[in-house]
Structure 1
Amino acid sequence: MAKWDNMLSMLWMLRTGRKLTAAQIADHLEISVRTVYRYIDALCASGVPVVAESGHDGGIRILESFKDTPPLFFSAEELKALMDAFKFAQGAGYPYTEEILSVLTKVENGLHEELHHDLSRRTSGLDVISPARPPSLIPLLRELEQAVKDGRTVRIAYRKANAEQEDEREVDPYGLAYDRNEWYIVALCHRSQAVRTFRVDRIAQLIPTGALFEKPERFSASAYFRDQSNRDREADGPLTVIRIEGGQDALNAICHHWHLRHYLTERTDREARFLIDAPTMNKYLPMYLMTFGPVIRVREPLELKRRIREMASSIVQLYEDVDLV
């Protein structure tokens, strides 16, 4: 058992309220008595009031005042996970990273020097590179989340992609979602009277209104995204298994495609499998997969292979009369 796991086990043993001898603890954890006393020093340095009493009725215990307080004590792996999670949240532009950092600072302040050094060593090998984001994004995310919580309609000035000017509309925000390195608000648009998605970084201004709304029961932004992808299918009915093999970079691009990723069923280092209806496959995949050239190969179905070959042949025929000399 790892050192920090042993220390946590020892702490829970002492929280039972019984006095234990160092020998009893050592026997239970299968460690030496000398190690038990080292762990006691480490616990005390972490703020745990461990008392070692000598004599006939002596033993090791913790003060009564600590027994009713949940211990702020983590294993090395748990601390690393917290720090790494903060990096990912920061990279995503999560609007409450300062609060997470405040919690982590409190945790770090309670660590003794040895554990603090070990944590720095364990977390130094992972970084999250975040894209550039507008400074207004965090306050926007906070305001939108509050509007979702309060059920308040907001007026937004929204700029669509490649649009020359902003467009104002009132929306009922149902939920925030983080997808493909971007934040989205899923909301009921009053103008279209339909649920729409809006990229938060394209919201130039947000103005609260006095109007209230009632969000659909059990609404899920992530489920909405999945449902939208399913609606984009060309037809209902039997699904076709698609197997594509190739290099990792090419497969990563295909598997992360905004539409295809919803149909991914299996992925290995050399192959990806999808389950999709034939009309959608025939309409979108031949041209898209051709952009990867020879770095990928469709293993099945035969119909998709045939359509890609036909499309490639038509391109070759188009340039047959070109003198390349």
Structure 2
Amino acid sequence: MRASRLLSVLLLLQNRGRMTARELADELEVSIRTIYRDMDALSVSGVPVYADRGPDGGYSLLEGYRTHLTGMTAEEADALALSGMPDAAAELGLGRVLAAAQLKVQAALPGELSDRAGRIAERFHLDAPGWFREADQVPTLTGVADAVWNQRVLRVRYRRWATGGREPEVERELEPLGLVLKAGTWYLVATPHGEPGAGSSGPRTYRIARILHLETLDVRFERPEGFDLWKYWHQRARELTDALYQAEATVRFSPRALELAPVRLSPHTARALAEGSWPVDEDGWVRAVIPIESITHARGELLALGAEVEVLAPPALREQMADVAHALAGLYASV
């Protein structure tokens, strides 16, 4: 453990130049006293590290000195797949491993490429969670990820999303095939284990925040030959969207509503509105046919646009919009 940290100190100084003891301690999540001891150890081992005193001081390497002791562990190589998602890596328990791997890659690059990689990291950042929402609490995530990696069967207690009169919680034994992070929400893709014909229906998707209890069994499983997580997820996402949006509504949108649609309507509905070719009346209002999930869901979405939309069909949706408008008018009549 100490040898790995000493290498990290060396690579930090090589990649970033002069750093204070506090900056090194914060970066490596250790005490300042530990950094002092590490610096003494590096000096004793012959590394040309120098300490500058004073408020602007810190530690630095002899100018021109570079180390090539950048051998990467298997775990660090695996973590590089998440190099654009540091928060996701941290949730999976790979935050420090990823940081070490990135340092080694940067140290191994020629000077020009190393500078270029640094500029990219300074200028681009991926923030996966959606706006104005709290991320799921996923205490079981690291356990699930370990089972995915080591192909171990999981026994879970899971809270259903829609019970339909069934028990709200179920126990399942699953063969975990992969993890998906979608808009800040983690999902497990898995097949049932130990049930007759369990694999015949193919993989299923489970929201990890709904896993109430997790146990990793001492049972290995074989991954389905040719299973492609990316293809499965994109096909599943299309199927889910198609299953949800099976109805349509005819709606008039004002020019202002068209501007607000991308942020007020669901992505699927907003995309259908933007990509369609719709007639425009003399006032600039557009008459469009949009996909809707249900009357209730569409009412909530379209009410967010206020008087900038008019529902023409179906009659049930138009009536509900009118009822809400009437109720609001009565509520504020005395204002």
Q: TM-score, normalised by structure 2?
A: 0.47
Find the structure with the greater CA-based Rg: 1
